[in-house]
Structure 1
Amino acid sequence: MGSMIHLTLGRIQLDWGKNAGFCDHGPLFRPNDLAEIPYYYAADADDKECQHLPLISRSSGFSYRLVTEMKEGFSAPLRVVAERLELLGYTEKYCRREFEELTSMVPSNHDCSFDELKVLLLDADFTQAALGPHLPSENLAEFLAVTALRHIPETVQRLQHESDLHDGEVSGLGAYTVIRLLAGNPTARDLPVTWQFSDVLEGGWVSRDVILTPVAQGRRFLLVTEGSSDVQVIKHALHLLRPDLSDFFDFVDMHDNYPFSGTGNLYNFVRGLISIRIQNNILVLFDNDAEGVFNFERSSRLNTLPNMRIMKLPDRQNFVRFRTLGPTGEQIANINGKAAAIECYLDVSRAPVVRWTSYDQRRDCYQGHLVEKETFSKEFLSQKALVDGYDYSGLENVLDMLLRECISINEENRATALESGSF
């Protein structure tokens, strides 16, 4: 019979493979999602050793008993997997394109559009998703028609028609599309998505290193900043605020001999990356101060690569009226584009002040820096977990901006693959 490998939502089968023929779903999971999870096997209904197990009868007349074994596999809540899929480029926009592409490749017997299926998945009641060993596994079409949407009778016949046409599956809905769309369903978002790979390992069809490999380099992101302090803060912010996505990011060495300190050097580095047509996904982040904005603007005018994003730290409303010190004394001024380095995005609620240091003729404004910025940075970097009362909103703004650009890069990569027929 061979060795089987399954991707499931609860006990609902989303994808399967056999022996060496399967999709690699490893990137959907974090390294710490490896755990002992239940595997289910069908035993003959008359097997004497399994007589204590409930008898399961299918509509086809086949009866069996379900044997449960605990083995190694990946398991994570659907909401976490959906977030990782978004970062991998499986946005709703891409899922729609993939659905339309798939349905255009088969006879036009589809009763549901993408928008209709989206509504059905959001309205479906997944509280009855088969999770226990006494329940049979189901494919998605069967589950929706028989259980999750039986409160909407007019949909049942349409889904059963789809199931009959396409061997039990909802046509045009890939496993990743299902997961992405169900992220908005409150009855499904905490269900476990599992990847049951142990049998193909035990069968010798694939090595353990292949299954447990980190996210592939082509899907990761290298963040390059003006100095090591930016990297330290952003890396720590990812671990605290976006721990489910932090393994997608790499950073230039932030310790001794940091190679790209200074905005001028970073601008030249960007030019170098473009000239060699670097294949990695690159995020270049400038400070939101006078020097950083100048180099951000001239870097943005370069003929950048599709896998590269040039950014600066975002403007913030609470930077518009900020206490500053300069030759004319204390004033309230807008520090956006003039003095907002990464430390300003930390919790600086204790009467922060920016000191103006030099005049930038290129932008006709003063350059400044946050007084006691090292103190604010050390306080944040010492946090082992989220601290009640600490204002993380500035860091949330920065991470949201970075993630939007990352999603854009991988979404474009997915769209290119779809157009080439290699999705």
Structure 2
Amino acid sequence: MGTEIEIYVGRTAVPDANYMGWQNCTDHVFYEADFFRRPRNSTHKVVRDVSDQYYIEPPETYRYFLAPAEVVRKRLMIQGYTPEFCAHSWEVSRLHQVETYQKFARGEDSQISADLALMASTSLSDWLELVRRQEKASPDKVITGRHQPWHIMSLLGAPNDVLVQLALLSDAFPSSQVWMDCSFLYDDDDDPRTPHQIAEEGAAEFADFPEGKIIVLTEGKSDTRIITAALKAFYPEYADAYQFIDFEEFRIEGGASVLARMVKILSGARIQNRLLALFDNDAAGAEAIQSLSRIRFPRNVRLMMLPNTKLARSYPTLGPSGRLRMDVNGSAAPIELFLGRSSLITPEGTLRPIRWSQWKDNVERYQGVVDDKDAICSAFLASLEAGSSPSTLRRSFPEMNLLLQSIFRAFEDNTPPLI
């Protein structure tokens, strides 16, 4: 057989299987236990009978997937391919086919007109029976030809989803075997790997460069709202590269310890997107990152504290010793300290102070919080809505610009593999 993917239900080929990709077959259709490596004389008969004709000289050993159609159908059901969904997909495709091909009709006696008339009056149950009848009429042949299930007028190739096509054929032939010749995957007859192992090795090669948007995890809804708004205002051309957790819609609690748990859970689930966990530059954030220090995260996961800033090196604080200016980087520099001096100034013209709250034993420093967080956030968001240009905003809010630049650099070393 050729190098194109071909999946069969009995002797009937799934029309668009090649568009699926063989790796997806190992994810959705066939499992490790479905793989066979057998000498030709002990290969399953349906595989040997169909495949032999495609080789000038049939191979001595066949490697292939094979599973009962009823088992494959259940696997598809688990993934959402219910009878109702597949019937709806087939019906939508039928109506679309009729509408599309009516323009090719050349008169009442044309073949297209006859096919369209049949298509317009055929139900799914009628069609399934026609498919069964066709295979029964050709017991010694691979089903081919103009009126077979994958023909453009047949209605099987119409649903765009390959798994719908496979589900429909599995419904038509529930007692058949679903199979795929895997010989094209092997250059070496002695290669002991299964297709799943080959797929995993290939996935591992590209795992360091995942596709899709970068998911940014923050400590809470305020951080997400602020960074999202700033990204769109400061760098609108890059905003769509990032996706943020929706704390408000799903009522997710916030905090540094919650963020630490979240990044562990998502990493454990092997999320393929790049994940950036962004902790506040305070004692709680440092403690949370320290709690993760012994975990070996995959390369698509990065932990980052908000960067140190010049503003935070000498910032007013309130504590048992009274009002002092201190370096609060690492102990009390949350997102609010990145919203600019104009947002942090009180009506009296002074910076809103940091108040020391609790001692963090694990990192041996006090945690501090800034006064009037809501007022600071509101002032910053109002500045963004004032209509200033991105370049003006970047100059006016250097701390936020530094933060966004740090986010941009988080995966700069995550270069793709050479192909």
Please indicate the TM-score interval, normalised by the length of the shorter structure. Answer: 0.3 to 0.5
Normalising by structure 1, report the TM-score.
0.44
Pick the structure with more strand per residue.
1
Q: Which structure has the greater CA radius of gyration?
A: 2
Normalising by structure 2, report the TM-score.
0.45
